[in-house]
């Protein structure tokens, strides 16, 4: 397996400004909750992991410990905040050889992490409140985790793997180390597990994947597990970590940007995205062909010419299909002073680069190219330092790299479940690790920007810790339901800050395969009104329905009195699993689905009314249309009948069911693939309706 490598909490409504109304969720801040981070270890000296005032003693139920190791002394590294630290490397060494040799002598044989990934994710989930955090003065502000008073337990399961002396190290996590970490974490007494890693598609069977087995055991013990969805987007069906008993998180943007201005000949200017701290001046603009064959900005196309003057190179992603990191690496090798990298607007994300780099869109890049072609000599170029701008761009929008559904292993369960901030997240970083990991990068920083579903995962983990501290008796399924069915800022999950449909990392509107049920709203998730709950028995039936044998299921389950792994006779559909969303991967004729909800609102007597948005070509009937709850009836069930009313061959369309009592709006996405043409040719493929957005009414 590999890792799925300040403003975000304010963006999601978890402000530190107590001049306004304070909610119980904010007051809790995750007290007495232990979050286990499965990652690359931690830099314990970071301010993010120092004790909050009046944090108090650790609960007596905690059985974990801090394990001595290289450059990691529990007496000084651990405290009332960082209460657990373990490391696992036997699986890594069996796969890749001795740790020191495989890592190029970069790694510590302890919970201390060289790779900053683990420090970053831990800081995002539960980091203490730190003022004046920034990356070279960019993104300056107060940094903290979602649950700053929660306790932290670190389980180092991923390690550096040196691939080349001139390149950044790779990262690897083995099944043996991960499953051992799950065993220890559950014994130690963690309440939430955050795991920002996953396997490369195709998806392995649940019974053959340590993360799925471990997270099943966690669910049985009432522990929520949060995974990253993967960074293989935007193509469909590459989402990973798709088990229904865990939470799978996609990545989306914040309402923060880092614009940088490019000025040519003091005459014409352009604006791109960058994380440049110092200006570039007295430089000239050159085309990629000066240093690279056919203008393809890759190392294997470098013509061995090195810059003798201050050159800024103009490279296009579309010339030779070049990724931003490849262009940065190649232009760095040519000793150029900077890079203007042109790529589609949907991929334009500022990054921490080895050389000053500005990313601009194709339209502006084309104008710069024409200007360069018409100039008699190389134009003079000046690049001004980046600025931090908030609330000026619509957000969220889905990251182009975020892995999409439907899940290839079980398409009748919607994955990803939700989306959360995962682009340019500022969090703690080891000062001895370069922000780019490259040996040529000599910078030392205590905070760094990172992008990926690895960053969105700990955002959800922090929110789960908050909910758990307020509702300690809620099951992992109930907590996930609360996250999936609530709306953000009195708008539905699918709307951005301008009340428009969230974009899917392109010009098209997003759908549930991009964002799951939508963007999380921490405050509303604390009081969802209704929840959809699931128990171990439900998940065993799910495994039976997808064809697992009793022997395979027994590999997954902690066997205890009253737990049966026997499968009932006859095949049943998983559409009746009490999931917060409804997905039908092949609707050929009318079918009826059952759902059960439990009232967890403050008012025990409540009446909920249904509102329906039909997927295109599907007639939806909900019965009953009204649900009644009282002190004597906290649960109610309803039926959903789906009837295809169009002729279609494997096309997905989207709708929703919303239950409302006037103050709560409990939304379940409807994902339906109408497949009424049964004689499809072997070469046909399932398509997704991208022709428009789901009809939407205000709730």
The catalytic site residues sit at 39, 117, 454
HEC-encoded secondary structure of 261-299: EEEECCCEEEEEECCCCCCEEEEEEEEHHHCEHHHCCCH
Helices 175-188 and 210-220: crossing angle in degrees, nearest 10, is 10
Q: What angle do CA 415, 420, 423 make, to 5 degrees?
A: 115
Q: For residue 468, give the 3-state DSSP assignment.
A: helix
What Å distances lie between residue 619 and 382, 613, 641, CA to CA? 59, 10, 8
Contacts of 224 (CB under 8 A, 6+ apart): 191, 192, 193, 218, 246, 247, 464, 468, 476, 479, 480
Cis ω for the linkage preceding 468 (within 30 of 0): no
What Å distances lie between residue 557 and 119, 368, 554, CA to CA? 32, 60, 5
366 — phi, psi (to 5°)?
A: -65, -40
In this structure, are residues 669 and 492 in contact, taking their beta carbons and an 8 Å threshold?
Answer: no
In this structure, are residues 340 and 332 in contact, taking their beta carbons and an 8 Å threshold?
Answer: no
In this structure, are residues 342 and 363 in contact, taking their beta carbons and an 8 Å threshold?
Answer: no
Q: How many CA atoms lie within 13 A of 196 on its CB side?
A: 36
**Region for 544 from its dihedrals, namely left if φ exceeds 0, alpha if ψ lies in -120 to 50, beta otherwise:** alpha
Q: For residue 686, give the 3-state DSSP assignment.
A: coil
CA distance 116 to 446: 10
In this structure, are residues 671 and 654 in contact, taking their beta carbons and an 8 Å threshold?
Answer: yes
- 462-480 burial, b at 16+ Cβ within 10 Å, e below that, comes to bbbbbbbbbbeebbbbbbb
CA distance 521 to 509: 20
For residue 170 the two structure tokens come to: 């790779």
Radius of gyration of the chain (CA): 26
Question: Sign of the C-alpha dihedral, residues 679, 681, 682, 684?
Answer: negative
102 — phi, psi (to 5°)?
A: -65, -35
């Amino acid at each position: 397996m590999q890792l799925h490598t300040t403003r975000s909490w304010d963006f999601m409504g978890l402000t530190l400004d107590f001049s306004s109304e304070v909610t119980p969720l904010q007051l809790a801040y995750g007290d007495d909750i232990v979050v286990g981070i499965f990652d690359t270890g931690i830099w314990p000296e970071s301010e993010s992991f120092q004790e909050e005032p009046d944090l108090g003693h650790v609960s007596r139920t905690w059985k974990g410990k801090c394990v001595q190791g290289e450059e990691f002394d529990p007496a000084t590294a651990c405290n009332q905040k960082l209460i657990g630290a373990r490391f696992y490397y036997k699986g890594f060494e069996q796969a890749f050889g001795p740790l020191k040799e495989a890592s190029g002598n970069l790694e510590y044989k302890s919970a201390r992490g060289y790779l900053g990934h683990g420090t970053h994710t831990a800081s995002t989930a539960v980091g203490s409140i730190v003022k004046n955090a920034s990356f070279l003065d960019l993104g300056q502000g107060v940094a903290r985790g979602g649950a700053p008073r929660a306790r932290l337990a670190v389980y180092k399961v991923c390690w550096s793997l040196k691939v080349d002396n001139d390149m950044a190290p790779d990262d690897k996590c083995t099944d043996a180390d991960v499953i051992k970490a799950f065993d220890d974490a559950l014994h130690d007494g963690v309440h939430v597990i955050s795991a920002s890693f996953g396997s490369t598609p195709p998806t392995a069977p649940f019974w053959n994947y340590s993360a799925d087995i471990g997270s099943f055991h966690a669910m049985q013990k009432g522990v929520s597990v949060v995974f990253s969805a993967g960074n293989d987007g935007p193509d469909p069906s590459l989402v990973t970590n798709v088990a229904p008993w865990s939470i799978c998180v996609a990545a989306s943007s914040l309402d923060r940007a880092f614009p940088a201005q490019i000025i040519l000949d003091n005459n014409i200017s352009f604006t791109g995205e960058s994380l440049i701290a110092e200006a570039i001046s007295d430089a000239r603009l050159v085309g990629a062909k000066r240093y690279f064959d056919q203008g393809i900005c890759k190392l294997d196309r470098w013509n061995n010419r090195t810059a003798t003057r201050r050159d800024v190179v103009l490279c296009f992603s579309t010339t030779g299909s070049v990724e931003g990191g490849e262009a940065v690496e190649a232009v760095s090798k040519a000793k150029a002073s900077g890079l203007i990298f042109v790529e589609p607007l949907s991929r334009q994300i500022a990054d921490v680069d080895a050389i000053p780099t500005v990313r601009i869109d194709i339209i502006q890049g084309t104008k710069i190219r024409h200007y360069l072609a018409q100039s008699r000599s190389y134009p003079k170029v000046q690049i001004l330092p980046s600025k931090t701008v908030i609330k000026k761009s619509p957000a969220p929008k889905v990251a182009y790299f975020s892995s999409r559904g439907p899940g290839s292993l079980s398409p009748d369960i919607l994955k990803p479940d939700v989306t959360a901030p995962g682009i340019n997240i500022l969090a703690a970083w080891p000062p001895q690790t370069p922000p780019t990991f490259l040996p040529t990068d000599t910078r030392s920083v205590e905070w760094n920007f990172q992008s990926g579903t690895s960053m969105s995962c700990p955002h959800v983990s922090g929110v789960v810790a908050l909910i758990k501290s307020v509702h300690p008796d809620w099951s992992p399924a109930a907590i996930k339901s609360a996250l999936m069915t609530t709306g953000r800022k009195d708008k539905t999950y699918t709307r951005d800050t301008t009340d428009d449909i969230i974009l899917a990392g392109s010009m098209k509107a997003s759908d549930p395969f991009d964002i799951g049920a939508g963007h999380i709203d921490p405050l509303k998730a604390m009081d969802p009104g209704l929840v959809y709950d699931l128990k171990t028995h439900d998940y065993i039936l799910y495994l039976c329905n997808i064809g697992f044998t009793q022997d395979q299921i027994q590999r997954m389950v902690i066997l205890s009195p009253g737990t049966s792994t026997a499968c009932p006779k006859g095949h049943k559909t998983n559409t009746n699993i009490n999931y917060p969303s409804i997905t039908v991967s092949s609707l050929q004729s009318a079918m009826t689905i059952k759902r059960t909800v439990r009232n967890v609102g403050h008012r025990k007597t409540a009446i909920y009314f249904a509102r329906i948005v039909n997927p295109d070509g599907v007639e939806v009937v909900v019965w009953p249309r009204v649900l009644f709850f009282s002190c004597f009836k906290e649960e109610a069930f309803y039926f959903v009948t789906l009837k295809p009313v169009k002729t279609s061959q494997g096309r997905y369309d989207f709708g929703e069911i919303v239950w409302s009592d006037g103050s709560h709006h409990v939304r379940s996405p409807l994902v339906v693939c109408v497949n009424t043409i049964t004689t499809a040719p072997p070469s046909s493929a399932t398509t997704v309706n991208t022709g428009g957005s789901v009809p939407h009414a205000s709730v």
